[in-house]
């Protein structure tokens, strides 16, 4: 089928052996429902792989893999800009903004601040909560559209965290759906690739691409970072039940920051015709352009449907949802989705009043605040969904802890 979507590895009610993530030898297997091993996937991932006894090897091969969310963290810049502050530089006011968007304040990075440092702080907190050492991290996924290097920022976070053993670190670009994609990618890496401790970080500095003279958009965005540690576990503890993710390139015209050429930088030598053909200075991206109305319509149309699909795949009903955590773009979108799904208000997590739309950071930021405030507790089932530029959207049904 064209749309493969969230698929959980089949599991079997036979072995309950604890699978230690710290083990050097890494084996996983898949089972059919009837208990017969279909496949032995052998692997030895680690340097210094230890020898297991044949019985142990066989037993380990039989345990299939799950993943669980074991830690979260977030970080915010210190500069806060209120709606009143904005009303002094563009023609707007606090009432207009808060009624139409739900936003009252947002944080932005100062010129000296670094998004990489913010992301690192969020990641450190997630590791602390999870009680996992940086050295045990084997994959760092940075979900961002605004890295501080053309080649990505994830390796800088890996370095700042002090991860020895050179774990792979790379960036995923999927705008406001980025974190959701990061979670699902992490799950696939754990289930299909043998990884054990995957840091998924959502961090964006959209303030750097906002047109601060455009009152339609400058009121919406803020900067932040959030992180989650996803850890391999026995399949019975698996915490990513199902997902559903899509893109529609047709919708790009409603939300984009296209490339433009910058003509001012270089003085070139005197070969006329070649010079005319060469790019004249490094390219850069325009400010964010958005048709708010179309994006709103898109979100309220696709998000409830996506969550319903994911619930169905997980074999769960709306009543199983303890919390609804959506990408924090606009309170009216959040309300509309909750209403459509018939999720009561008290089960909806929202913090965009304080931070605005922080793109890939918004979901982990909201999750982290909800966990640390005691709202979200271990065992709670969360329906989470991201949506935004691409257009891309996705949802996942997850369990915290």
Q: Are strands 381-388 and 323-326 parallel, antiparallel or unpaired?
A: parallel
Give the whole-angstrom CA distance, residue 138 versus residue 45: 11
Interface residue with another protein, options 246, 254, 327, 347 (CB under 8 A): 246
CB of 121 to another protein, least distance (A): 16
CA distances from 391 to 211, 245, 294, 296, 298 (A): 21, 11, 11, 12, 9
Q: Write down the catalytic residue from 143, 163, 197, 327.
A: 327
Q: What are phi and psi of 255, to 5 degrees?
A: -160, 110
Q: Which of 200, 306, 190 is nearest to 245 (CA)?
A: 306
**Is 287 near another protein (CB under 8 A)?**
yes
Our CB check for another protein shows the closer of 308 and 335 to be 308
Q: Write down the catalytic residue from 105, 196, 354, 357.
A: 357
Q: Which of 250, 123, 108, 254 is nearest to 182 (CA)?
A: 123
Contact assessment for residue 334 and residue 357, using Cβ atoms and an 8 Å cutoff: no
Number of residues that bind another protein (CB under 8 A): 150
Q: Is 166 left (phi over 0), alpha (psi -120 to 50) or beta?
A: left
Question: Residue 4: is it exposed, middle or buried by C-beta count within 10 angstroms (0-12/13-18/19+)?
Answer: exposed
**Is 76 near another protein (CB under 8 A)?**
no
**Is 362 near another protein (CB under 8 A)?**
no
Interface residue with another protein, options 17, 51, 85, 377 (CB under 8 A): 85
Contact pattern from residue 203 through residue 242 relative to another protein, giving x for each residue in contact according to CB under 8 A and a dash for the rest: --x-xxxxxxx---------------------xx-x--xx
Whether residue 233 lies in the annotated active site? no
Give the whole-angstrom CA distance, residue 21 versus residue 102: 42
Q: Which of 145, 393, 389 is nearest to 251 (CA)?
A: 389
Contact assessment for residue 297 and residue 355, using Cβ atoms and an 8 Å cutoff: no
Of residues 44-73, those binding another protein (CB under 8 A): 44-47, 65
**Is 110 near another protein (CB under 8 A)?**
yes
Whether residue 218 lies in the annotated active site? no
CB of 55 to another protein, least distance (A): 18
Contact pattern from residue 139 through residue 178 relative to another protein, giving x for each residue in contact according to CB under 8 A and a dash for the rest: xx----xxxxxxxx-xxxxxxx--xxxxxxxxxxxxx-xx
CB of 276 to another protein, least distance (A): 9
Our CB check for another protein shows the closer of 304 and 368 to be 304
Interface residue with another protein, options 54, 274, 346, 374 (CB under 8 A): 274
Interface residue with another protein, options 269, 319, 346, 374 (CB under 8 A): 269
**Is 192 near another protein (CB under 8 A)?**
yes
User: What 3-state class would DSSP assign to 36?
Assistant: coil
Our CB check for another protein shows the closer of 142 and 348 to be 142
Interface residue with another protein, options 249, 319, 346, 374 (CB under 8 A): 249
Give the whole-angstrom CA distance, residue 153 versus residue 130: 23
Whether residue 305 lies in the annotated active site? no
Give me the active site residues, please: 176, 327, 357
């Amino acid at each position: 089928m064209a749309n493969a979507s969230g698929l959980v590895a089949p599991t079997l009610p036979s072995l309950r052996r604890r699978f230690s993530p710290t083990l050097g030898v890494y084996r996983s297997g898949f089972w059919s429902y009837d208990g017969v091993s279909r496949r032995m996937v052998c692997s030895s991932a680690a340097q210094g792989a230890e020898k297991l006894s044949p019985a142990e090897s066989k037993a380990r091969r039989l345990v299939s893999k799950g993943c669980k969310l074991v830690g979260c963290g977030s970080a915010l810049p210190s500069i806060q800009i209120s709606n009143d502050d904005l009303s002094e530089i563009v023609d707007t006011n606090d009432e207009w903004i808060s009624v139409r968007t739900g936003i009252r304040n947002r944080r932005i990075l100062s010129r000296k601040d670094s998004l990489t440092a913010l992301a690192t702080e969020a990641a450190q907190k997630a590791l602390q909560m999870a009680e996992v050492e940086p050295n045990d991290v084997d994959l760092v996924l940075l979900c961002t559209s605004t890295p501080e290097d053309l080649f990505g920022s994830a390796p800088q976070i890996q370095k700042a965290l002090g991860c020895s053993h050179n774990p792979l670190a790379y960036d995923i670009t999927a705008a406001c759906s980025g974190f959701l994609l990061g979670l699902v990618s992490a799950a696939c890496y754990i289930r299909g690739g043998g990884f054990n401790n995957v840091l998924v970080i959502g961090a964006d500095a959209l303030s750097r691409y906002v047109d601060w003279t455009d009152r339609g958009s400058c009121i919406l965005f803020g900067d932040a970072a959030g992180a989650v540690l996803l850890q391999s576990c026995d399949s019975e503890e698996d915490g990513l039940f199902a997902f559903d993710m899509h893109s529609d390139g047709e919708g790009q015209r409603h939300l984009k920051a296209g490339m433009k050429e910058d003509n001012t930088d270089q003085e070139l030598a005197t070969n006329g015709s070649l010079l005319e053909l060469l790019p004249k200075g490094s390219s850069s991206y325009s400010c964010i352009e958005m048709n708010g109305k179309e994006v709103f319509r898109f979100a309220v149309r696709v998000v409830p449907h996506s969550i319903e699909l994911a619930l169905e795949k997980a074999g769960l009903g709306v009543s199983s949802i303890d919390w609804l955590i959506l990408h924090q773009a606009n309170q009216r979108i959040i309300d509309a989705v909750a209403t459509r799904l018939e999720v009561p208000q008290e089960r909806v997590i929202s913090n965009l009043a304080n931070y605005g739309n922080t793109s890939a950071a918004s979901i982990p930021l909201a999750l982290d605040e909800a966990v640390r405030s005691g709202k979200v507790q271990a065992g709670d089932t969360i329906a989470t969904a991201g949506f935004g530029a691409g257009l891309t959207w996705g949802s996942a049904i997850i369990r915290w802890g």
